[in-house]
A and B are shown apart, each in its own frame.
Chain A
Amino acid sequence: MALLEIRNLNVHYGAIHALQGINVTVEQGKIVTLLGANGAGKSTTLRAISGLLRQVKGDILYQGRSLFGRPPHDIVRDGIAQVPEGRGIFPDLSVLENLNLGAYIRSDKKGIEEDRERALTLFPRIRERLQQKAGTLSGGEQQMLATARALLARPKLLLLDEPSLGLAPQIVLTIFRIIREINETGTTILLVEQNAHMALQAAHYAYVLECGRITMHDDAKALAESDAVKKAYLGG
């Protein structure tokens, strides 16, 4: 059974039909990527999974149970953490407070402590800035903080919304290395990206989303070789 199964998902924003019946399957332990241009519906898909949208039709099954109708904080409790578009850092809170909010749903102090250590080992630059206000971090550091924070929820499924957006190439490499490391420790990842090149390298399976419809899906390697994807997303 797949960890997450999106079935015929339809989302309307007023008159705009943002998602027009998409089907996506995320297998346990994999990195699955959802590629597409701006406005294709990638972030909408993640918002629907996290329970942030009202006007949704179809179904989203997580571990075989529907997520529809459940409040967002409940879905986090079930093991789905999201690093939202724009990172969702709370700028007025300290870096440490931001991190701790990631563990809001947990009360096992020792486990949280361990997971925080592990997250800070993955992102050593965050450790140096724990007492700073999060708003003073650079874009790359904010992305690292947001990812570390999501890990503190100890998610089974991690949703990443454009982790490479606006970051220097060197930092993008670091972020993607860490995404793979996180996946190797057993966390399933659904990655939304415009940077098809990086995403296809990291992912096991990929979907291409265009104007609210899935137009292609295949193993990431196969998709990276396909002419249509090369032409549209890989610049050649």
Chain B
Amino acid sequence: MIKLVQTLLSSISVGSLYALIALGYTMVYGTLKFINFAHASIFMLGAWFSAIIAAALLANGVTGIPAIVLSILIVMVICTTLGFVIERLAYRPLRDAPRLNVLITAIGVALLIENVAALNDVKIPGTQTTIHGFGTQPGKMPELLANADLFSIPLGSGTVVVDKVDALILGLSICLMIVLEFIIYNTRLGAAMRAASHDARTAALMGIPVDRTISITFIIGTSLAAAAGFLYVMKYPSINPPVAVTWGLLGLKAFVAAVVGGIGNVRGAVVGGLLIGILEQAGAAYLSPHFRDVYVFALLIFVLLVRPTGIFGSTAVEKV
């Protein structure tokens, strides 16, 4: 019983991380109709920047809740700015190009980010400027929250422990998702985003600046990946080097979450993320921890066989 509740708790925590990343994939797919392979790289940058900023804050005597709030805000601003630049330079010029071109560009962007991030200090010839990369060694997220238990509930013969970090992950993810839900379903911008994602040409006929709307959608997705990066290193403080395959694998699993939920569907991404979290954690707890990735991809195969549009995906019906 305790094991069940504890597994469920960690499932929700891990699941909301997947959901945050999956939202970015699904939003970009919804408007730009391509899979942004560089999304996992943004997540990786979010994780690394979090560690650097948190360390800098701690060194300046900022601790506790202010440090958490500040780091997450700064990380989101940095990654969002990067997302804006990427969209502007790499994807926007390809608006009318075949989707395959954009897909390949996304892979290129991912490789570029990874490899620049993996640089050590590089002097730019002829100047005093040095680029500091994250290098090829693992990093460490300083402890912002003393990794204590938030509370423990006695249950039967033992106790269920709720970790502060898990509570933070859950709380922040829910907040971000509520904000996103509000933007998409209750604002003029959200209506424009949904319109542009359904039919960009008709959206333009409504006077919607489609290019700008798409850019905004893109950078919202990016900011969520940054937040996920922060929460991830809060939970798992040893950070893999930028070129490690773990980032790609995490991104891929979040992408599976988006597909399982129905790619292009925002609510689907959240449900898919949670589902993946539960499957992975329950599989690791009850079957074998060695196959945690296998469960996820088995679910993908199952969904693609049974319901290829995903849980919330629908095949569009055209009326004449």
Question: Is the beta-carbon distance between A88 and B199 smaller than 8 angstroms?
Answer: yes
**B320 within 8 Å of A (CB atoms):** yes
Q: Are B207 and A90 in contact (CB under 8 A)?
A: no
Check B205–A88 contact: CB distance below 8 A: yes
Residue numbers in B under 8 Å from A52 (CB-CB): 201, 204-205
Known: A73-B209, A102-B206, A104-B207. A166 touches B194 (CB 8 A): no
The number of residues on chain B lying at the interface, defined by a beta carbon within 8 Å of a beta carbon of chain A, is: 22
Contact status A50-B320, CB under 8 Å = no
A73 close to B319 (CB less than 8 A): no
Which chain B residues numbered 187 to 208 have a C-beta less than 8 Å away from chain A? 188, 191-192, 194-195, 198-199, 201-208
A71 to B316, CA, bound (A): 28
Q: Which of B201, B206, B209 has the most CB of A within 10 A?
A: B206
Residue A91 CB within 8 A of the other chain = yes
| A82 located at the interface, meaning its Cβ lies under 8 Å from any Cβ of chain B in the complex | yes
What are the residues of chain B within 8 A of A97 when measuring CB–CB?
A: 191
Inter-chain contact B202/A90, CB cutoff 8 Å: yes
A81-117 vs B, CB cutoff 8 Å, 1 = contact: the mask equals 1101000101111000100111011000000000000
User: Which residues of B lie under 8 Å from residue A101 when comparing CB positions?
Assistant: 191-192, 195, 203, 206, 208
The answer to whether B205 touches A72 (Cβ under 8 A) is yes
Q: From residue A109, how far is it (CB to closest CB) to chain B in Å?
A: 12
What are the residues of chain B within 8 A of A230 when measuring CB–CB?
none
B148 on interface, CB distance cutoff 8 Å: no
**A153 in the interface (beta carbon within 8 A):** yes
Bound: A153/B201 CA distance, A? 17
Q: Interface residues of A, CB < 8 Å — how many? A: 30
User: B207 and A92: CB pair below 8 A?
Assistant: no
- Which one of A93, A104, A137, A166 contacts B208 once the chains associate, using CB atoms below 8 Å? A104
Evaluate contact between A50 and B205: CB separation under 8 angstroms: yes
Q: A90-B199, A104-B188, A104-B192 are in contact. Are A135 and B207 (CB under 8 A)?
A: no
The chain A residue sitting closest to B201, CB to CB, is A52
| Distance in Å: Cβ of A78 to nearest Cβ of chain B | 10
How many Å lie between the Cα of A142 and that of B319 in the bound state? 9
- A77 contacts partner chain B, Cβ-Cβ < 8 Å: yes
Cβ-based interface call for B65 (8 A): no
Residues of B near A149 (CB, < 8 A) are 206
Which residues on B sit within 8 Å (CB–CB) of A31? none
Minimum CB–CB distance from A52 to chain B (whole Å) comes to 6
| Chain A neighbourhood of B316, CB < 8 A | 91
B188 to chain A, nearest CB (A): 7
Q: Which residues of A contact B201 (CB under 8 A)?
A: 52, 72, 84
Asked if B205 contacts A71 (CB within 8 A), the reply is no
User: B186 to chain A: closest CB distance in Å?
Assistant: 10
Tell whether, in the assembled complex, residue B209 and residue A71 are in contact, meaning their CB atoms are under 8 Å apart: yes
**A90-B195 CB under 8 A given contacts A73-B210, A135-B317, A139-B320:** yes
Q: A150 CA to B145 CA in the complex, in Å?
A: 54
> Closest residue to B202 on the A side, CB-wise?
A88
A100 to B189, alpha carbons, bound, how many Å? 12
Give every chain A residue within 8 A of B199 (Cβ-Cβ).
88, 90
A residues in contact with B211, CB < 8 Å? 71
Nearest opposing residue in chain B for A94, CB measure: B191
Which parts of A48-83 form the interface with B (CB within 8 Å)? 50-52, 71-73, 76-77, 81-82
| A100 and B198 contact, CB distance less than 8 A | no
B205 touches A77 (CB 8 A): no
Given contacts A90-B194, A104-B192, contact A73 B202 (CB under 8 A): no
Say yes or no: A76-B191 contact (C-beta < 8 A), given A90-B198, A139-B319.
no
Q: Return chain A residues, CB-CB under 8 Å to B204.
A: 50-52, 71-73, 76
Known contacts A84-B202, A101-B206, A101-B208; is-contact A92 B194 (Cβ 8 Å): yes
Complex Cα gap A90–B204 (Å): 13
Establish whether residues A91 and B208, one from each chain, have CB atoms under 8 Å apart when the complex forms.
Answer: no
Q: Could you jot down 28 A-B contacts, CB within 8 Å?
A: A50-B204, A50-B205, A52-B201, A71-B209, A71-B211, A73-B206, A73-B210, A76-B207, A82-B205, A88-B199, A90-B194, A90-B198, A91-B316, A91-B317, A93-B191, A93-B198, A101-B203, A104-B192, A104-B207, A104-B208, A135-B317, A135-B319, A137-B319, A138-B319, A139-B320, A142-B319, A149-B206, A153-B207
**Measuring CB to CB, which residues of chain A are less than 8 angstroms from any residue of chain B?**
50-52, 71-73, 76-77, 81-82, 84, 88, 90-93, 97, 100-102, 104-105, 135, 137-139, 142, 149, 153, 166
